[in-house]
């Protein structure tokens, strides 16, 4: 596995945002990702130390840069000594016909699944997030303790964080999400993506990537889970369906803290308001 190439670095709260590029075997294209190294874990530190990692999965249309530039997450990561990993949201540059026709499908909209429809065979973001990227980080950055990891996400990335954690019991110490797509089998964003990537008739595979369906049969170790949603989110009723996930989790005895934040919308203004609390939540479990 070839080491990634650094393409930028910015000092922030004593640590560094370092952006990298590498050739992805899962996706058959070059991919970018950003790591925020807290001060103690950066390569410029006098005696770098190993730190736990927090994966962040972005939403529709985003790249790895949105959360790095807009959320202010670095302050809390520096305080708690946690590395923050921000990957991209889909393959790019493959020039598949129609890949950029819609903002909610194709480029920027990988939904963190492995597509089975042949046209989209390189849309394998599930493998990229769960296998290739962790292996690359472990082999390239000795200060990242990839065996001690948590995961979070926003919107489409919240869907990704929920489903990936539920499908991989024990892989993550904690889980959180902002405004996640909780029941994609039954909302327009999800049905469009799953029809395209899996085929319209492959409903069992749809369910295998739906947090509301997955939580019903979760039998892994305890997974502390925090979900924040804004009451002013314009996508709340039609696209997110948090009540479906809450009901399924309650029926299954899966503990989840779901908070409705009054007046907040779907944006990074919402995320920036509560991101420190999410990092502190993960730090508690990563350092238990």
Of the residues 155, 176, 228, 282, only one is catalytic, namely: 155
Question: First CA to last CA across the chain, in angstroms?
Answer: 32
Of the residues 22, 159, 209, 266, only one is catalytic, namely: 266
Q: Note every long-range contact of 218-222, with CB atoms under 8 Å and residues 24 or more positions apart, other chains counting.
A: 218/166, 218/169, 218/252, 218/254, 219/169, 220/169, 220/170, 221/169, 221/170, 222/255
Asked whether the CA dihedral 243, 248, 249, 251 is positive or negative, the reply is: positive
Residue 49 falls in the annotated catalytic set:
no
Q: Residue 46: CB partners within 8 Å, gap ≥ 6?
A: none
DSSP one-letter string for 96-163: -TTTTSBTTBBTTB-TT-B--SGGGTT-BHHHIIIIIHHHHHHHH-TTEEEEEEEEEEETHHHHHHHH
Of the residues 24, 228, 233, 278, only one is catalytic, namely: 233
Cα angle for residues 106, 110, 111 (degrees, 5° grid): 130
Q: Would you say 173 and 150 are in contact if contact means Cβ atoms under 8 Å apart? A: yes
Q: 38: which 2 tokens?
A: 């807290």
Residue 155 falls in the annotated catalytic set:
yes
Measured in whole angstroms, how far is the alpha carbon of residue 267 from the centre of its chain?
16
Q: Would you say 157 and 57 are in contact if contact means Cβ atoms under 8 Å apart? A: yes
Place of tokens 């065979």: 121
Residue 233 falls in the annotated catalytic set:
yes
Catalytic positions: 155, 233, 266
């Amino acid at each position: 596995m070839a080491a990634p190439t650094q393409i930028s670095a910015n000092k922030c709260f004593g640590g560094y945002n370092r952006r990298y590029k590498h050739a992805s075997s899962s996706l058959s294209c070059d991919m970018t990702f950003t790591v925020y190294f807290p001060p103690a874990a950066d390569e410029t530190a006098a005696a770098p130390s190993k730190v736990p990692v927090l994966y962040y999965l972005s939403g529709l249309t985003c790249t790895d840069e949105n959360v790095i530039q807009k959320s202010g997450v670095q302050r809390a990561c520096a305080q708690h000594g946690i590395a923050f990993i921000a990957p991209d949201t889909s393959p790019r540059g493959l020039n598949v016909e129609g890949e950029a026709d819609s903002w909610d499908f194709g480029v920027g909209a990988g939904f963190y699944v492995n597509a089975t429809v042949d046209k989209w065979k390189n849309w394998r973001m599930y493998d990229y997030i769960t296998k290739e990227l962790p292996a690359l980080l472990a082999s390239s950055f000795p200060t990242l303790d990839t065996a001690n990891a948590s995961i979070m996400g926003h919107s489409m990335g919240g869907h990704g964080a929920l489903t990936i954690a539920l499908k991989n019991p024990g892989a993550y110490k904690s889980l959180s999400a902002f405004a996640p797509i909780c029941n994609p089998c039954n909302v327009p964003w999800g049905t469009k993506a799953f029809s395209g990537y899996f085929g319209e008739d492959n409903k069992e595979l749809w369910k295998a990537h739906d947090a509301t369906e997955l939580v019903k049969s979760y039998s892994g170790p305890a997974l502390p889970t925090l979900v924040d949603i804004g009451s002013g989110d314009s996508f709340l009723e039609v696209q997110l369906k948090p009540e479906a996930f809450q009901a399924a989790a309650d029926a299954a005895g899966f503990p989840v803290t779901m908070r409705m934040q009054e007046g907040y919308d779907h944006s990074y203004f919402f995320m920036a308001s509560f991101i420190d609390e999410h990092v502190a939540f993960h730090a508690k479990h990563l350092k238990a």
